[in-house]
Amino acid sequence: MEKTFRELGLSEPLLRALRDEGYTEPTPIQAQAIPLVLAGRDLIGVAQTGTGKTAAFAMPIIQILSGSDRRATKWGALCLILTPTRELAAQIGDSFKAYGRHERLKHAVVFGGVGQNPQVRLLSRGTDVLIATPGRLLDLMEQGFVKLDGVEILVLDEADRMLDMGFIRDVKRIIATLPKKRQTLFFSATMPSEVVRLSREILTNPKEVSVAPSATTVELVDQKVYFVQRDDKFELLKQILRGNAHGGKVLVFARTKHNADRIARNLVRENIPAEAIHGNKSQGARTAALSAFRSGKSRVVIATDLAARGIDVDGITHVINFELPNEPETYVHRIGRTARAGASGAAVSFCDLDETIYLHDIEKLTRQKMAVDEKHQYHSQKAQDAKKELEAGRTPHGVSPPHRRQGGNRGGGRFHGGGQRNRGHYRR
Ligand code: AMP
């Protein structure tokens, strides 16, 4: 029998907030992490977005800080949470607001891409929980607007993403200024060697908890592949959006910002309202697009992997891989955007001849064969045959995957940068 939130040791005000949120039972990462964090332990949590990991650290932190009489002084903070993207920072801020609604803690969120003055005003009063992206935080530190010598709890969120995005040096510079005596919580979806090294540097005698989102997500999501020629992908997308995905909330993945924009533009031209979300958009435009998606006002969002990383939108019914990722782990991240917190969802992947090798890599990772939908007018027999050749251990003719990772460091390392560098795969 799973433990209840009460049995994990959460206090009455938090239990009330959880009831308000409608959470009835802890997710596996919460069940494992909450008692350890409450006991003051350092922690490595191997879990990705969608597993409930934000609440797994936010709830016990709220309880610890509310129960102590220490308060942050001017420009100071008691808890620092570092996270790679502005969206994640904002969402973590929202979580603290929701779970802490019956306590009186102050939290502040700082990230780049917006004016710093309102953030400086918030910081000037001191804040119990400071949630920040590394670049903006360093900027503010250098100007003397933040003092981190009172930090008692540090959370490093999505450490592997920090690495991919080139933030590790900034993160290390920030951590170097914190008191050595503190509680540190470290979260990462994957543990490539550089992330393991970092964890060894900054944690003391940590407990490790890990949940297997890959397996659970993969099992919960109804997955299908459509073999299709590259030039027919757009028509197929239209057909799906007007057919079985009609009325749902759809997240479409493209490999580049450029392609995301182009797909969105072409859909709008076909009277299918759609918006692209990626790093080149202003913060205002991203926030507006996300809240329209969240409220259901817009149904179709086209995103790149980096931008989608922080999208926490409930009720996504379909994930469509317009282009398959060259990293099989990325596929698992993508389909995890649907089937959140135990709901079920559908993932549809378009696979052209050159992508058959990616599909093969994905199936090896998930240890599942994807169902093939051949009953559509754009079916490419050539791509399907190439996939069969790969399965038989032969090299199919005419397949030249544009961005296949070198070296096949499955499970160990992730790719280092370059995810957004490739262009022009999809032409219309
Ligand atoms: P996260 O992995 O932190 O991004 O959380 C994923 C989603 O699960 C968020 O939308 C949370 O609001 C939701 N969530 C977190 N914990 C629970 C829970 N115990 N029961 C139901 N939903 C939850």
Look at 288 and 279; give whichever has higher pLDDT.
288
Spacing, Cα 175 to ligand 1 middle (Å): 28
CA of 359 to the centre of ligand 1 (A): 29
Kindly indicate the confidence band of residue 305, based on its pLDDT and cuts at 50, 70 and 90. confident
Instruction: Please report the domains of the chain, with CATH numbers, ordered by start residue.
Output: 12-210 (3.40.50.300), 221-426 (3.40.50.300)
Number of H helices, E strands in the chain: 17, 14
Q: Is the pLDDT of residue 410 over 50?
A: no
Residue 348 pairs in a beta bridge with 224, 320
d(CA 408, CA 190): 15
* Mutational test site, ligand 1, from 312, 313, 316, max ligand atoms within 8 Å of CB: 312
Q: Are 256 and 425 in contact (CB under 8 A)?
A: yes
The residue type found at 275 is E
Query: Residue 309 has what pLDDT?
Result: 64
As for ligand 1, residues whose beta carbon falls within 6 Å of it are: 23, 26-27, 30, 49-55, 312, 314, 340-341
Residue nearest to atom 15 of ligand 1 (CA): 52
Res 416: pLDDT: 29
Quote the tokens at residue 420.
Answer: 């957004």
| Alpha helices (H) along 231-370 | 233-242, 257-269, 283-295, 305-308, 328-335, 356-366
- Between the CA of 421 and the centroid of ligand 1 the distance, in Å, is 32
| Nearest CA owner, ligand 1 atom 20 | 23
Cα distances from 334 to residues 186, 307, 340, in angstroms, run: 22, 11, 11
Q: Identify the residue whose tokens are 């938090």.
A: 14
N-term to C-term CA, the chain: 54
**CA 67 to ligand 1 centroid distance, Å:** 24
173 alpha carbon – ligand 1 mean position (Å): 31
* Average pLDDT taken over every residue of the chain: 86
pTM for the whole thing? 0.61
* Cα 51 to averaged position of ligand 1 atoms, centre (Å): 6
In Å, how far from its chain's centre is CA 336?
9
Cβ within 8 Å of residue 79, ≥6 positions away: 61, 65, 128, 129, 130, 151, 152, 153, 154, 155
pLDDT in tens, 6-49: 999 999 999 999 999 888 889 889 999 999 999 999 999 988 77
Which of 102-111, 398-407, 408-417 is predicted most confidently? 102-111
Q: Which long-range contacts (CB under 8 A, 24 or more apart) does 420-423 make?
A: 420/256, 420/257, 420/279, 420/304, 420/306, 422/255, 422/256, 423/256, 423/258
Q: What is the mean pLDDT of residues 420-426?
A: 30
Structure confidence by residue, pLDDT tens digits, 176-235: 999 999 999 999 987 778 888 999 999 999 999 987 644 455 677 889 999 999 999 999
Q: Over 70: is that where the pLDDT of 343 sits?
A: no
